[in-house]
Structure 1
Amino acid sequence: MTTIKPLLFLVGVFALPLTAQTCLTSVPETTPTSQFTINTDGTVTDNLTGIMWMRCSIGQSWDTNNQTCTGGVEQLTWQQALKSASQYQYAGFNDWQLPNVKELSTIVDRQCVDAAINQTLFPATLAQNYWTSTSGVGSASQAWAVAFYSGKTNLRSKTSDIHLRLMRYAK
């Protein structure tokens, strides 16, 4: 029996990241698919805010045939994220930017957790922290992130390696 306990412990530890998204139908959607225009180039446009979002996290590629994001998701420090965003070219646009905390919070779906996002619009989004461009007030070493496992915001050290999703204002 002693050899089974460590094995069960390891199975339990490795099963934790595989939690499925949970959505409560009693809570209204905050990012209904009908609010967005799904573009054919791997982007979506929020018709309320005018923000065009990349459907995939940085590091992933949009798979048009399967309508999903594939590949590994990059993690960058805050400074690297800002620099990467300013140089990014995608879907024929070169004005991508790291969203501020209010902008990124607009794609949180409060109906769901693990990940707190509309997975029709943003497939394969990790239930992890994503950078914003917003620095912490009173702390030059921290910036705000949105935790897509819960939808909450939190301060993170700017030297932390965190995911990112870019946006631009549609013209």
Structure 2
Amino acid sequence: MKTVQQKWVVIVAMAFMLCLAGLVISGTAFGAGGGQCEDNGDGTVTDNGSGLMWQKATAGEMEWHQAMSYASGLSLGGHSGWRLPTKDELKGLYNSECKKLMDVRSSYYWSSTTDAYYASSAWLVNFSLGYVGHGSKSNSNYVRAVRAGQ
């Protein structure tokens, strides 16, 4: 009976080591963000998990149309192609370790996603509570631009 228990201990230990080796190789073991988030030192943060590059600083409060224009006209870190994030991208950032590398306000941020039922409203994510809701496009909220990273 003792040899059966010993075999199971060896199998479990080997499985654990293989899993740990896989995490180390993939860069997701240990540390905040596990290497997924990278401060590029040029005002941008790359989320290697999502493949997105984020503006590190929070842009001021502005109406939605101004926010869309601001993001699309942004040139940052030697990159163009910036835009306002979708509702899902912004919610993903809220849940990401990458936000720890950014200037984040405990308030609402605009997404580019227009409310399907109210064309005069767009979706917002609250970076204090993670709440996702919609607000009038004429209201002022914070802005953070995003682009496809590379």
Q: TM-score range by the shorter chain?
A: 0.7 to 0.9
1:120 is aligned, of 83, 90, 100, to 100
Q: 1:113: which partner in 2?
A: none
Asked whether the 8 Å contact 2:106–2:126 carries over to 1, the reply is: yes
Asked whether the 8 Å contact 2:91–2:125 carries over to 1, the reply is: yes
CA deviation map 1:84-130 (0-9, x unaligned) = 111111111121100000111111138xxxxxx7553113x110000
* Alignment map for 1:20-99 (pairs within 5 Å): 32=33, 34-58=35-59, 74-99=60-85
2:94 is aligned, of 108, 113, 120, to 108
SS of the counterpart of 2:66? helix
Identity percentage of aligned residues: 33
Report how many residues are paired: 119
Matching residue's letter, 1:163:
Y
Q: 1:108 to 1:155 in 2, by over 3 A?
A: same
Q: 1:145: which partner in 2?
A: 124
Structure exhibiting the larger radius of gyration computed from Cα positions: 2
Asked whether the 8 Å contact 1:33–1:121 carries over to 2, the reply is: no
Q: Residues of 1 paired with 2:36 and 2:99: CA distance? A: 14
Could you say which structure has the higher helix fraction?
2
Q: Residues of 1 paired with 2:56 and 2:40: CA distance? A: 10
Q: Residues of 2 paired with 1:87 and 1:53: CA distance? A: 15
The TM-score normalised by the length of structure 1 is 0.65
Contiguous gaps of at least 5 residues in structure 1? 1-30, 59-73, 111-116
SS of the counterpart of 2:93? coil
Q: Residues of 2 paired with 1:137 and 1:107: CA distance? A: 22
Q: Residues of 2 paired with 1:160 and 1:131: CA distance? A: 10
Q: Residues of 2 paired with 1:145 and 1:154: CA distance? A: 5
The TM-score normalised by the length of structure 2 is 0.73
Runs of 4+ with deviation above 4 angstroms: none
SS of the counterpart of 1:90? coil
